[in-house]
Copies of this chain bind each other. A is one copy, B any other.
Amino acid sequence: MAQWIVAEPVQRLVEALERLPGIGPKTASRLAYYLLRAPDNIALDLAGALQGLKENTTLCERCFNVTVHSPCPICSDPNRDQSLLCVVEEPLDVVALERTGAFHGLYHVLHGRISPLEGIGPEQLKIRELLERIEREPIREVLIATNPTMEGEATAMYIARQIHDRGIRVTRLARGLPVGGDLEYADLNTLTSALAGREEMRTDDK
């Protein structure tokens, strides 16, 4: 019964919204009825942005980040450190790292992580392209910034082994307590990592 009491165009939108991650039936309904009430341009701007999304973007031929023109602005920037390469899982990770303003090298986006459960092996990721890049470009350090998860760690380990013995420094992001976090609530693994990676205190007076 719930089928025909919702007008078909609304039901169609609800179903399209439900396919997005994290949006359940209730949220989808609420969004659809919000869009019905809202000024026309809210729905139409969103429709236009969705249509232009894949049409107007591509992957950078060098780092595989999402870009309008390839090579992307980061790869094209001569002021970036060409010898330092940061390997990340997803384009969103590039955004997160750029926001820090603390990294000035180049990136390489894997587009996923090794995940036997999901049937994702190294050949589905941009790992071959990474190794070719390391041969071709004057890279001296590869900073592996995969997620600190089981799968991210396995991916990091796999890549580190591939790069090994090429005279390149392989590093990863530090593990430890999140800034602003509470030691009491830190999980065992994080606390263990924080202990193992303990750092010298630096005092201002040298």
Contact = CB atoms under 8 A, between A and B. Distances in A.
Contacts of A72: 7
Interface string A12-56: 110111011110000101111111110010111111111111111
Contact of A44 (B1, B50, B111): B50
Nearest to A29: B92
A5 interface: yes
A34 B193 CA distance: 31
A95 interface: yes
Contact of A52 (B9, B54, B55, B91): B9
Contact of A53 (B1, B30, B35): B35
Report how many copies the assembly holds: 2
A138 B31 CA distance: 36
Contact of A16 (B30, B45, B73): B45
| Dominant secondary structure at the A interface | helix
Q: Which of A35, A43, A45, A53 has the most chain B CB atoms inside 10 A of its CB?
A: A53
A48 to B, nearest CB: 8
B46 A16 contact: yes
A68 interface: yes
A66 to B, nearest CB: 5
Interface residues of A, number: 60
Given A31-B21, A53-B35, A2 B99 contact: yes
Interface string A76-119: 00000000000000111011001101000000000100000000
A7 to B, nearest CB: 5
A67 B9 CA distance: 9
A171 interface: no
A134 interface: no
A97 to B, nearest CB: 9
Contacts of A53: 9-10, 13, 32, 35-36, 43
A185 interface: no
A101 to B, nearest CB: 7
B9 A49 contact: yes
